[in-house]
Chains A and B, each alone.
Chain A
Amino acid sequence: MIPILLGITVLSFGVMRLAPGGPAEAQMDFSAKASAEARERLRKLYGADQPFYKQYATWLGKFMTLDFGEAFADGRKVKDKILERLPITLTINLLSLGLVLLIAIPIGIMSATRQYSLLDRFSTMFVFIGFSTPSFWLALLLIYLFGVQWGVLPISGIHSLDISGLTFWGRLSDEANHLILPVFVSAFGGLAGFSRYVRNNMLEVMRQDYIRTARAKGLSEGVVIYKHALRNALMPVITILGLALPGLIGGSAIMEQVFGIPGMGQLMFQAVLSRDYNLAMGILVPAAFLTMLGNFLADIGYAFTDPRVRLR
């Protein structure tokens, strides 16, 4: 695991730092008057005059003590900037995850228990369409329909400008209204994949001997499906959540750009484009670690639920 952790930091650091044009250049290019001397001073300030391995060692040493440094853009602590953006992105992702589970599990069960039925065919088609729909296009269409054409939902930001004048309930419903479209669009892609996954797992489990045994001893179909099959089918489903993390992060970047939401995705997007190393690394490396941890937990989860894996 340690080599992977190091590899993640080296690769992201390398991609960010080895590029020509650091933050000094990004800031100076806009002012033609900046002298070579000032440029050099700024490079020194950012440590860009040091060789690569030294820069990396300095950064890693600080990172180990959870010191992410300051953002170049405004000199504020990276940690503060992240903590202030995190709740918005988390809220949207958790709500959409809840929506996905709420809809995908029943759909998955129904298509598995009634394989090749009309509902199963319909949901299979929906799955393929869900996989193939560009999320930002769906967002645009919904913005047009709900925001422009019917004018029932706000189309960008996380609350209205005059929010301070509202009562508590007014504020709540205002914020909820702003969340509807982003949450729905975030959930859409995951819905397809997740219901497919539940369906396939259910089909796999339903073919097992213990299901036949359960039926043979005269248990009702409901007990067989919900008690014997579903529990075993959902176990591996839980592990897939860890694997979905990088997709969620990437999705958030695009989603927040379309809906103008000041969250982590937007922060990362700006940080990478303005070559704000500290900020970009401060978001990226923890995200990558979480993903790796998710993969690791998924492996442990498999070993826990499937004793055959443990033998390897």
Chain B
Amino acid sequence: MNNAESFTSQTFHYLMQNKLAVIGGILVLLVFVLSIFAPRFAPYDPSKIDIKNILVGPSWSHLLGTDDLGRDVLSRMLWGGRISLEVGFVAVGIATIIGLILGSIAGFYGGWIDSTVMRAVDIMLSIPTIFLVLAVIAILEPSIINIMVVIGLTSWMEPARLIRAEFISLKEREFVVAARAIGAADSRIIMKHVLPNGLAPILVSATMGIGGAILIESALSFLGLGVQPPTPSWGSLLSSGKDNIEIAWWLSAFPGLAILITVLGYNLLGEGIRDALDPRQRE
């Protein structure tokens, strides 16, 4: 019996039965498609300035209104979605890779390597993330790449902890002992035998991490330290919304709603995957 495949399809089966997870998946897919095809869906050029239509409220010609330079808010949000998703995916990718490497090594070798890595995790968890991010951004100057790297470098602790716990519970199992008995190298045991079997919790943390990274990016851009104008991201759109809050509510309301919907989608999907992977939930 092909166990791996049946487990995957079982998990998918349970995931599809979870209504909230399906809603989450639909939201994620929707935002993804809208962002990918932004050039096709956007009714206007996102950076086209139109002096005659400054700060016009939502109407048929501009569904979500225009900003202080007359640019179409809907078009800017669609293009901004690309930036926000890009930051989310790359930052989580960086964090997951760092976490996988450090967590695997710590869990596999144990001893002083393990305690060194875990102390590093404790230190990183004690310092408020926002401080590290602010300090590094102040050094490196805000740019999309720097933001991805900084968010990645400050959020690897959870994946590291998760993968370490998986390694500790897996490394004494028969198939690993057997691999060692026939003389497999450490690197082969880690990569081929333990890691593939311990990836499930990482999937959950990465899914929810994308939502978290999008929130951090938007907060940074909102404070003026993230994606810089005129490049649209949901956070930088909100930042200009703040400046016009007294006259143009639509500049604040819609980009924030986009963040909420996207992050909600990833959180629901992540929680759904967690439940589907948890054997205790299956009865």
Contacts and interface: CB of A to CB of B under 8 A. Distances in A.
B126 interface: yes
B252 A15 contact: no
Given A8-B127, A275-B138, A134 B20 contact: no
B259 A284 contact: no
B60 interface: no
Interface in B97-153: 119-120, 122-132, 134-136, 138-139
Contacts of A140: 238, 241-242, 245, 252, 256
A64 interface: no
Interface string B238-278: 10011001100100110110011001100110010000000
B215 interface: yes
Given A144-B249, A148-B246, A7 B123 contact: yes
Contact of A19 (B138, B211, B223, B271): B138
Given A137-B259, A137-B260, A273 B134 contact: yes
Interface residues of A, number: 48
B238 A250 contact: no
B226 to A, nearest CB: 12
Interface in A105-154: 124-125, 128-129, 131-134, 136-138, 140-141, 143-144, 148
Contact of A141 (B126, B139, B252): B252
B264 A129 contact: yes
A41 to B, nearest CB: 24
Contacts of A129: 260, 264
A229 interface: no
A221 B129 CA distance: 44
A200 interface: no
Given A7-B119, A11-B124, 7 more contacts: A128-B20, A132-B267, A148-B246, A246-B129, A249-B128, A250-B130, A284-B128
Interface of A: 3-4, 7-8, 11-12, 15-16, 19-21, 124-125, 128-129, 131-134, 136-138, 140-141, 143-144, 148, 246-247, 249-250, 253-254, 257-258, 268-269, 272-273, 275, 280, 284, 287-289, 291-292, 295
Interface of B: 20, 119-120, 122-132, 134-136, 138-139, 211, 215, 218-219, 222-223, 238, 241-242, 245-246, 249, 252-253, 255-256, 259-260, 263-264, 267-268, 271
